[in-house]
A and B are shown apart, each in its own frame.
Chain A
Amino acid sequence: MADKLLWVHDKALRFGSDFCEANESFKAIHIWDDEYYRTQRYSLKRLVFIYETLLELPLEIIHGNTLDILSKENLDHIVIPYSGDQALKNLFSKIEKIKTVQYLFETSFVHLDRTFEFKRFFKYWNQAKKTAFLSNGDRGA
C-alpha cells in the first residue's frame, strides 16, 4: 500500500531512473490546476503536449487546485521532483507548510569545482567541460 504521494508536476513528466527510490511505494498524481496553467498562460499547443505525455505515465490526473488537493490527501509525505521554475518554487514553499516534503533532485549535468558565480557562458563552460563529456557528469577517479 502506498505510503507516499508523488506529485508529478509539468516540469517532471517522467518516471525516470532518478525516481526509482521513490517508486517503491507511492501513489503518483498529476494535478490539472486551471489556475496554475492559466497563470502560466500556456497555449493549447503546450497543454495538449502535456496531457499527451501524462497519458503514458502510470498516474491519476486530478482536476482541481494543487494546494486543496494535496491538503485533502490522507498521505502526509509528498515526494516532489525539484524544479528551479519560479512558479513551481512558489507552490513548493506553500506545500511545505501543510505536508512533509521530500524533493527528488536530477543528477547534475556537470560538477563544478567552485560555487556558481559565472556571468558569462564561456567562463562556466571552461569549468563545466571537464565533466560534461562523462556519463552522469561524473568526476571520474
Chain B
Amino acid sequence: MTILERNFDNRNDLIAYVKKLAPWAEGNASPIRGGQTECKKRLINLNAVKYGKTRNYGNGSVSMLSPYINHGVITLNEVRNHVVKDANDTKLIESFVRELGWRDFWSRFAENNQNLLWNDVEDYKTGYASDDYQEELPEDILAGDTGVACIDSFIADLLNTGYVHNHARMYLASYIVHFRQIKWQAGARWFLVHLLDGDVASNNFSWQWVASTFSNKPYIFNLENVDKYFSGIVDTTRSKNRVLDASYPTLHNRLFPNLEVQNG
C-alpha cells in the first residue's frame, strides 16, 4: 500500500506520473481537464436556452459537462437546479433538461436490466440478424483511417480528446453498425475506452438506439445532414465522403436490402 503523489509542478508532470502508474493505458492525455474548478467554469458558461436552439450543430452551445457528470464531480440534480433557478419559461430550457433526462432514463433502465447492458434489448430492425454483424472493429476504424473524411475527423476527436459531439457520436455509431455492419457492442466497447464521459448505461443503450435493438428503426444519416450541421468543422467534400453521398431512400435500400424498398 502506497500513498500516491498529490503535488505536481505542472500538468505534464502529472501526466507523466499517471502514465508511469498505468503503462498499459492507451493513448495520450486529453486537453480537457478534470476537476471541480473546470466543472464550475462550464456550469457558469452554460446557456441552456441557446443549447436548445443550437445543440445539433458541431459548433452549437453544448455544455460539455458530461465528463464531470459521469465521474460524479457534479450530479444531474445539481446541473438541473442550476438551470431552472434562472429560467423564466421552462419551455426554453426543456431541450437541455430532457437531455439530462435521457441519462437518468438509461441509468434507471440499467438498474432494472443489468443483463441487457451488453445484450440486444430487442432484435435488429434492419432485416438482418445479430449473427450477420461482425464481432470486431477493423483496423481502419480503430486508426481513424476509413477514407471517409468526416468520419475520420470524428474518430480523431474521440482518440485525441475523449470527447465527441453527441450528433457526431450518432453518425459514428450509425457508420459502424449500418454502413460497416459491425455489432454495436464492438463500437460501444471502443467508446468506453476513450470517452471521458463513457458511462456503460448511457453509452451502450445509445448504441442500441442507433442499432435499432432498443428503438423502432435504425438511425441512418447522409452527407447532406453532416454538411448541414458540421460544415466548416469537418471536411464534407463529396469526393471525400462518397459512401455517405446519397438520398435517404437510396441509403435505406442499399443498407437494408431485406426491408421494404423505399421510393423517393
Contact = CB atoms under 8 A, between A and B. Distances in A.
Contacts of B25: 37, 42-44, 47
A138 to B, nearest CB: 10
A116 B1 contact: no
A14 B80 contact: no
B264 interface: no
A118 B98 CA distance: 16
A103 interface: no
Interface string A51-64: 11101110011111
Contacts of B11: 52
For chain A, give the interface size range.
Answer: 35 or more
A65 to B, nearest CB: 9
Interface stretch (A20-28, A93-101, A125-133): A125-133
Contacts of A17: 78
A19 to B, nearest CB: 10
A12 B72 CA distance: 4
A14 B162 contact: no
Contact of A62 (B4, B29, B36, B109): B4
Give the secondary structure class of B's interface.
helix
A49 B68 CA distance: 9
A47 B18 contact: yes
Contact of A53 (B35, B100, B111, B162): B35
Given A38-B24, A43-B194, A136-B77, A128 B104 contact: yes
B13 to A, nearest CB: 11
B102 A121 contact: yes
Contact of A121 (B5, B6, B19, B105): B105
Contacts of A43: 25-27, 162, 193-194
Contact of B73 (A13, A45, A69, A134): A13
B42 to A, nearest CB: 13
A120 B209 CA distance: 10
A74 interface: no
A68 B34 CA distance: 28
Contacts of A52: 11, 14, 33-35
B134 to A, nearest CB: 20
Contact of A16 (B19, B22, B75, B84): B75
B71 A106 contact: no
A21 B196 CA distance: 29
Interface residues of B, number: 74
Contacts of B44: none
A64 to B, nearest CB: 5
Contact of A45 (B37, B94, B161): B161
Contact of B84 (A68, A86, A135): A135
B192 interface: yes
Interface in B57-84: 67, 70-78, 80-81, 84
B4 A14 contact: no
B150 interface: no
Interface of A: 10-14, 16-18, 32, 34, 37-38, 40-53, 55-57, 60-64, 68-69, 72, 81, 83-86, 106-110, 116-119, 121, 124-125, 128-129, 132-137
Given A16-B75, A49-B30, A85-B200, 18 more contacts: A10-B71, A12-B72, A32-B4, A45-B29, A47-B22, A48-B29, A48-B30, A55-B14, A56-B35, A56-B36, A81-B72, A106-B76, A109-B104, A116-B108, A119-B121, A121-B105, A132-B98, A133-B80
23 contacts: A11-B70, A13-B71, A13-B72, A14-B73, A16-B75, A16-B78, A44-B18, A44-B22, A49-B32, A49-B34, A49-B67, A49-B71, A55-B14, A63-B1, A63-B4, A64-B2, A106-B76, A107-B77, A109-B100, A121-B105, A128-B101, A133-B87, A135-B81
